[in-house]
Structure 1
C-alpha cells in the first residue's frame, strides 16, 4: 500500500508554501530519511524526507506550485525494488542480432530517463527559454541534479565568458542591423521572479517604513578594551569552550540584554493600541544568506554566557547558510542586533523588524584620531546605530539605551558585574 507524503504542518504565521526543488522524480528509489523535496515559505526552506525505503510512485505537485499545510505531495511504494535494478535484470544479454536491438533500446531508454531526472519542470523551463545545453551547466544539486539556481548562475557567467544568450523573440522584433552598444557589443537584461522569501522580506521592509515612526540615533564606541580582552583570552577561551571562538557579537548581545533591563520600552512591542512589555530578552541576530536576510532568535539571551552566545550564533549562521533553520528558530524576538561591519559598512540606519520597537546596528571597526585627556590618540572606533519606533520610545530613552550599551562595551567588566 502506498504511503502518502504530505507537506509539513505550517504554523499560523505561514499561510502556504511553494515547491522549490524536487530531489527525486517518479520511479526513483529513495532511502529512509533521504531528502525528497524542498518547500520554500516566506521564512524558511523546509525539507521533506522519505519516511522509509521505497520508490516514488506518484508526484502530485510540480516545482513552482503553491501548496497548503499538510497537502499531499507524493506517494511512496515501500520496499519496492529500484527501477534501475529491474531494467538491468530484464535486459540480460541474448545471442544473435535480436539481442543487440533490445539492449540498445534499453540503453536509449535509460539515457532518456536519466535526462528527464536531471532537472525538474521549473529548471527545464528555464533551459528551454534560453536554449541552453543541459550538459554545459554545472550541477550542484544532490545526485548531479541541475537546479534553478545552477541555471541562473550559468546565465550570469555567460557575459563574462563571452557567450551570447539567445532569448526567444518574434522575428519582427529582431533588429535589422544591430549596432554595438557596449564593450561586448550588447546590453544584457534578465528577468527573474522573486523568491517567496525575498518577496516577504520586501513586504516587511515596506511595512516597517510605512507603519512605524522610525528614527535612528547614533553613537560611537571605543573597541580597544574588548579587543584587548579578546586578544588576551581568545586561545584559552577556545580551548575551554570546545572550539567556540570569542567574537564581538557575544559582548554586544550581553550588553544589549543589560541595557534592555534598564529600558524596558526598547524591549517592548506594540499590539494595536496596547504596549506589550516582555519580561525576557529574546535577541534576534540578523544573518545574511544567499536567499536573503533572516533573523534567527536567541531565546532567553539574558541567561546565556558569552560562550553560549558565540556558539549559538555560529550554529544559527551555519544552519541559515544550509537552509536548515526552522520556523521556530525565527519566530518571536524582542530586540534585534545586526552587524553590517562584517561587509565593510561604516554607518547605516537599520530598519525595524516589526513588531519589535528597536534594532541595534554594529559597523566596521576603524582606527580614527580621538581626543583623550587633551591628547590626540588613534583608537579602534565603531559607529553604533539604534533605530527605534518613536511611537513608543522617546528620543531620551533611545539615547540613554545606546549610551548604556556604549559604556558596557568600553568597560566589559561591567557586563560580568551587571553594573
Structure 2
C-alpha cells in the first residue's frame, strides 16, 4: 500500500521549511516511527518518521528543497521489504559493484558531510547497501579521527596525515558553507531588533555570595528531595525576574504596531545554545513555578536542545528573556532584544573582586547584570529600578520566599 509522506503542519508563524537530511534512501527498510527525514524551519528542526514498516518508494523533495506545510515529500510503500539482489547474481555483479562511482555508493547526506569536511571517501568504510557510505559512516569516521595520532605512532607510513585531510601543505584553506535557515533567521531578527527598537542597556552588579551560600547549604538536600533535580543559579534569577516583572509591568509588555500590550502573566524565555544556533524555549507562568520546577524544566530544555528535540510550542510566545553568557566566560555584554519583547536580562561570569563594605575592603563573588530595553516602551527610571529590584532580591534570597 502506497502512503504519501508529508511535511509536518507548520504553525502560522512559520511560512515554509527546508529539507535538511534524508536519513533513509529509496529501497532502504524502515521500521514504524523510525526517523526518515529532517525538516528545518525558521525556529526548529522537525522530524518526520515512517508511518509503518516498509520502504521509501520515491523521494519527491531532495535535500535543500523548500517545502510548504503538509506538502508531499516522498512516496512510502507499507509492508514492502528492502530490495536485494538474488544470490545467483551476486558473483557476476561483484566486478560491476566494485567499479561503481562514488556518486552511486554515497548517499546525498553522506556526500554533503564529506564535502563539508574535505574528506577522502575512499578511506571511509561503508556499511550501507552494497557497501554504500551512509551519513552515520561518515560521522563515525570523523569521530574516530580523534585517535589518529595513536594510529600514526603505530604505523609510520600513516605519518603523511595531510593527504588524508585533503589539505595541501602550505596552502591557506577556506571553506564556504551555506548559512542554515535557522542561523539566517536568527541573524535577520537580531538586525531587525537593532534597527526597529530604541534599544538602550543599563548595568548593575550583584553580590552572589548569599545565593551561593544558600545553594551550598541545601543543594544536596534539594537534589535528594526533588528526584535528582540540581539547584542552579538560573532558578533564582527566574524567580527574581518574575517578581520584578510583576512590579514593573512595562518591562513585561510588548509592542504591536502602535499598541502597547501588557501581559497579566510571566512567560520567561531562557536562551539555550545548541549546535544549530541560539534557541529560546519559554518557561510558562513562572509565578506559579517553584525553584525545582524551574530547574527541572531548564534541564529538560537543555537536553532536548542538544538532541534537536525542541518543538515549535516550546519557543512560541514569551514576555521576557534571560540569557547567560557567563557559562562561556563572558564578564560583560550587551544583550539584544528578542522582539516583540521589550526587555532582556543578561547574566555574566561570577568573579571575585575587592568591594568596599562598611568601610572595609572585602573580596566578594560579583556578577555584572545587563538589562537591554526598548526606550519606546520603558523609561530609564523603570529600567534602572527593575534591575535594582533583581539585585536586591538576589542579595537577600529570603525576600523571594516572602515576596517583599
Same fold (TM over 0.5): yes
User: 1:281 and 1:149 mapped to 2: Cα distance?
Assistant: 45
Q: CA deviation at 1:408?
A: 0.5
Select which of 120, 123, 133 maps to 1:133. 120
More off after superposition, 126-135 vs 207-216: 126-135
- Asked whether 1:105 is paired with 2:92, we answer yes
> Unpaired segments of 5 or more residues in structure 2?
149-159
Task: State the partner residue of 2:10.
Answer: 10
User: 1:322 and 1:138 mapped to 2: Cα distance?
Assistant: 26
Task: State the partner residue of 2:87.
Answer: 91
Task: State the partner residue of 1:59.
Answer: 59
The count of residues paired between Structure 1 and Structure 2 equals 388
Query: Structure 2 vs 1, CA of residues 354 and 108 (structure 1 numbering), >3 Å: closer, same or farther?
Result: farther
Please give the secondary structure, in 1, of the residue aligned with 2:135. Answer: coil
Query: Structure 2 vs 1, CA of residues 407 and 153 (structure 1 numbering), >3 Å: closer, same or farther?
Result: farther
Query: Structure 2 vs 1, CA of residues 223 and 127 (structure 1 numbering), >3 Å: closer, same or farther?
Result: closer
Output aligned runs, 1:207-226, within 5 Å.
207-226=192-211
User: 1:67 and 1:151 mapped to 2: Cα distance?
Assistant: 30
Please give the secondary structure, in 1, of the residue aligned with 2:389. Answer: helix
Task: State the partner residue of 1:27.
Answer: 27
Task: State the partner residue of 2:319.
Answer: 334
Query: Structure 2 vs 1, CA of residues 246 and 271 (structure 1 numbering), >3 Å: closer, same or farther?
Result: same
User: 2:141 and 2:188 mapped to 1: Cα distance?
Assistant: 24
Task: State the partner residue of 2:355.
Answer: 370
Query: Structure 2 vs 1, CA of residues 346 and 117 (structure 1 numbering), >3 Å: closer, same or farther?
Result: farther
Please give the secondary structure, in 2, of the residue aligned with 1:348. Answer: coil
RMSD in angstroms over aligned alpha carbons? 3.1
User: 1:64 and 1:190 mapped to 2: Cα distance?
Assistant: 19
Are the counterparts in 2 of residues 20 and 37 from structure 1 also a CA contact under 8 Å? yes
User: 1:279 and 1:351 mapped to 2: Cα distance?
Assistant: 24
Q: CA deviation at 1:133?
A: 2.4
Select which of 389, 401, 404 maps to 1:416. 401
User: 1:139 and 1:346 mapped to 2: Cα distance?
Assistant: 47
User: 1:272 and 1:79 mapped to 2: Cα distance?
Assistant: 53
Task: State the partner residue of 2:69.
Answer: 69
TM-score, normalised to structure 2, is 0.88
Task: State the partner residue of 1:193.
Answer: 178
Please give the secondary structure, in 2, of the residue aligned with 1:83. Answer: coil
User: 2:170 and 2:251 mapped to 1: Cα distance?
Assistant: 55
User: 2:184 and 2:137 mapped to 1: Cα distance?
Assistant: 17
Output aligned runs, 1:205-354, within 5 Å.
205-354=190-339
Please give the secondary structure, in 1, of the residue aligned with 2:344. Answer: strand
